[in-house]
Amino acid sequence: MRNFTTVADIGDLKKAVEEAMAVKADRFAYQHLGRNKTLMMIFFNSSLRTRLSTQKAAMNLGMNTIVLDVNQGAWKLETERGVIMDGDKPEHLLEAIPVMGCYCDVIGVRSFARFESKADDYNELILNQFIKYSGRPVFSMEAATRHPLQSFADLITIEEYKTKERPKVVLTWAPHPKALPQAVPNSFAEWMRAADVEFVIANPEGYDLAPEFVGDTKVYHDQDEALRGADFVYAKNWSAYADPNYGKVLSTDRSWTVTAEKMALTDNAYFMHCLPVRRNMIVSDDVIESPRSLVIPEAANREISAEVVLKRILESL
């Protein structure tokens, strides 16, 4: 595997989960792969889990890591070609990317949707420039439209906790005060559709995700109806996708908050969220603190998903 940006890059999901379990059972078994190899992690946006878990995964594999927060100490980067650079940005991404590539063997990039242009976001303008110009394998640490390391960790977690052959997994929108990207729900949908689960989505009117991510998944605009019989409830906020409201907050309706009453509609479901989460907006304190909450095991599996991805990239060098 050279680049990792979507579910398609990982191939057979059953094999990927088996490999994840093997890595989890002996996470230092592949140290030879990363010897004298350097991972560079580039952050255009904040992170707690991705930064720490990916760095830990690289260390497990014997790699060296360099982390750059583009917005803290680096030159401000122009991203658009053809502009006369007489403003506040002293460097262009088109020089910065190949320079970064000189100092490492593998590059991870976090670059969220900017909501300035839907076309730029959905064409993954920044991530694709890294793939094109860095000369290195590139993996997504959450780009404009997907967060595959998160979805892979979510799948591993579901496989670990499921008690039915084909569990019902509900992705539900929940309220949040600020506009958030669609990357996490898009990606989760993409992975769940490729996995062997019964997958449905619940969101208010106006919040349907992009058709290429929804596919033929059943979408409910009534959250209670979607939650009935659920084995896993995956909550996430996202901003509107459809024009003319792309990137906008249309509702902060707290009747969509995942509470104990909502969880009572399910088949004693587990609660999942990628974190960071705003309590009592997305989920009530009692649900996230309950024994059915998987938010910490999910975060722990980020180390595993990152290690499988890095291992496969290193094997292909």
Q: Which residues bind ligand AN0 (CB under 6 A)?
A: 142, 180-181, 183-184, 274, 276
Which CB sits closer to ligand CP, 260 or 296?
296
Could you give the CA distance from residue 312 to residue 61 in angstroms, rounded to a whole number? Answer: 11
Window 286-315: residues binding ligand CP (CB under 6 A) = none
Member of 6, 50, 186, 203 binding ligand CP (CB under 6 A): 50
To the nearest whole angstrom, how small is the minimum distance from the Cβ of residue 44 to ligand AN0?
12
User: With contact defined as beta carbons under 8 Å apart, do 187 and 151 qualify?
Assistant: yes
Whether the CA torsion 107, 108, 113, 114 is positive or negative: it is: negative
User: With contact defined as beta carbons under 8 Å apart, do 20 and 305 qualify?
Assistant: yes
Antiparallel, parallel or unpaired: β 106-110 and 38-43: parallel
Give the C-alpha distances (Å, rounded to integers) separating 158 from 86, 142, 298. Answer: 51, 20, 9
To the nearest whole angstrom, how small is the minimum distance from the Cβ of residue 245 to ligand CP?
24
Name the β-bridge partners of 227.
Answer: none
Q: Does 128 bind ligand CP (CB under 6 A)?
A: no
User: With contact defined as beta carbons under 8 Å apart, do 146 and 183 qualify?
Assistant: yes
Which CB sits closer to ligand CP, 140 or 257?
140
**Which of ligand CP, ligand AN0, none binds 181 (CB below 5-8 Å, type-dependent)?**
ligand AN0
Whether the CA torsion 84, 88, 93, 99 is positive or negative: it is: positive
To the nearest whole angstrom, how small is the minimum distance from the Cβ of residue 242 to ligand AN0?
18
To the nearest whole angstrom, how small is the minimum distance from the Cβ of residue 264 to ligand AN0?
27
Which CB sits closer to ligand CP, 54 or 134?
54
CA geometry: angle 117, 218, 119, nearest 5 deg: 10
Residue type present at position 129: Q
Residue 7, both tokens:
């579910």
Residue 129, both tokens:
């420039």
Q: Which stretch binds ligand CP (CB under 6 A): 30-38, 205-213, 225-233, 272-280?
A: 272-280
Q: Does 272 bind ligand CP (CB under 6 A)?
A: no
Residue type present at position 116: E
Which CB sits closer to ligand AN0, 230 or 274?
274
Member of 274, 283, 313, 314 binding ligand CP (CB under 6 A): 274
To the nearest whole angstrom, how small is the minimum distance from the Cβ of residue 53 to ligand CP?
8
Strand order in the sheet with 232-236: 218-220, 198-202, 168-173, 232-236, 270-272
**Which of ligand AN0, ligand CP, none binds 22 (CB below 5-8 Å, type-dependent)?**
none
Which CB sits closer to ligand CP, 105 or 142?
142
Which CB sits closer to ligand AN0, 37 or 236?
236
Give the C-alpha distances (Å, rounded to integers) separating 128 from 23, 28, 63, 132, 145. Answer: 29, 32, 24, 6, 12
To the nearest whole angstrom, how small is the minimum distance from the Cβ of residue 52 to ligand AN0?
13
**Which of ligand CP, ligand AN0, none binds 215 (CB below 5-8 Å, type-dependent)?**
none
Binding site for ligand CP (CB under 6 A): 47-50, 142, 150, 274-276
